[in-house]
Amino acid sequence: MRTQKKKRTWLKVTGIVILLLLVGAGAYGYNVYKSLTTAVDTMHEPVERKQTEKRPEPVVLEEKDPFSVLMLGVDERQGDRGRSDSIIVLTVNPTNKSVKMLSIPRDTRTAIIGKGFDDKINHAYAFGGVPMAMDTVENFLDIPIDYYVQINMEGFKDIVDAVGGVTVNNDLDFTYEGVHFTKGELNLNGEKALKYSRMRYEDPRGDFGRQTRQRQIIQGVIKEGASLSTLTNYGDIFSALGKNVKTNLTFDQMIDIQKNYREVGNNVQQMEIKSQGTKINGVYYGIVSEEEKQRVQTELKTQLELQ
């Protein structure tokens, strides 16, 4: 297990966040459009995967099909791909106008698809990058993973600062890396938001408490990013996204989602998956029971209208 001093990451922004940041861009004319398309071209990174049996027919965004997004918060280091220490799955349904946001603890033990053995779920990215991470999460949740958004943690502060900071409601008084976070409503800049989302060991809820704070920051970015006033900062926003975000979503797909799924961002529902911590051969893992896995899978399949 990594020490508290080592960098940990979380997914700072989602595919939906990106789309909300783009709302209304056309009103700002050519300069905004050029900045936007440049950022999207930089962010776009296709992923090669075999057609999954869980999605025999491709998603048609123009027809408002429900879809899923795997969000990976990655700590990239020199000469090392890093690990996806934050894994969040979004399932988007325009019919009920909602997004279900599921955090998967990084220590969750599961089959690593393409390796043939069980390991921590966040090791899938270290072994095989985005494709293996998508395949492994897809197998674990038994749902299709349609898109991915990968965020470099080094760009976290820039993204939060670009949208003018975020507001969260903190339910735990704690101090982390020299910053004291009191209970109640807090206004956080990028540096403080990063520290707020990192703390785990002082929280009696452990990783689940950290996941809650991560989702608070995500929702804060969504709220600020959807504000038209924020778009006066479009240069900084697009620059931060272009440098730190990779996704297989194309520009046209983003436009389709912005047009057909706009209302879902107002109803983001948080989900958790419970696990039991245990050691196997001296290594800590989170073990998810079959009953708990079935509960989560059923809820996600209903959200994606696969039931």
Query: Residue 73 — pLDDT band, cuts 50, 70, 90?
Result: confident
CA distance 261 to 245: 21
Res 254: pLDDT: 83
Exposed/middle/buried for residue 233 (C-beta within 10 Å: 0-12, 13-18, 19+): middle
* Contact call for residues 72 and 125 (beta carbons, < 8 A): yes
Which residue, chain included where needed, has tokens 């080094």?
A: 154
Residue 203: strand, helix, or coil: coil
When comparing pLDDT for 201 and 114, which is higher? 114
When comparing pLDDT for 83 and 15, which is higher? 83
Structural domain boundaries of the chain?
15-163+228-302
Res 121: pLDDT: 96
Query: Residue 24 — pLDDT band, cuts 50, 70, 90?
Result: very low
The per-residue DSSP string of 121-172 comes to TTHHHHHHHHHHHHHHHHHHHTS---EEEEEEGGGHHHHHHHTT-EEEEE-S
Which residue, chain included where needed, has tokens 């730190």?
A: 244
Name beta bridge partners: 287.
276
* Contact call for residues 146 and 160 (beta carbons, < 8 A): no
Res 181: pLDDT: 94
Res 217: pLDDT: 81
Quote the tokens at residue 136.
């492994």
Span 79-112, pLDDT tens digits: 555 667 789 899 999 999 999 989 898 899 999 9
Res 159: pLDDT: 82
Whether 185 shows a pLDDT value over 70: the answer reads yes
**Averaged confidence pLDDT in the chain:** 82
Strand (E) or helix (H) holding 285: strand 283-287
Whether 202 shows a pLDDT value over 90: the answer reads no
Query: Residue 6 — pLDDT band, cuts 50, 70, 90?
Result: very low
Q: What is the pTM of this model?
A: 0.79
Closest CA to 285 of 86, 107, 83, 84: 107
* Contact call for residues 190 and 161 (beta carbons, < 8 A): yes
CATH of 15-163+228-302, one of 3.40.50.2020, 3.40.50.880, 3.30.420.590, 3.20.20.60: 3.30.420.590
Average pLDDT over residues 205-213: 78
Res 224: pLDDT: 72
- Angle formed at CA 45 by CA 109 and CA 57, multiple of 5 degrees: 70
Span 255-290, pLDDT tens digits: 888 788 878 877 888 898 999 999 999 999 999 999
Span 45-66, pLDDT tens digits: 999 887 778 888 889 999 999 9
CA distance 95 to 65: 9
Whether 169 shows a pLDDT value over 80: the answer reads yes
Query: Residue 188 — pLDDT band, cuts 50, 70, 90?
Result: very high
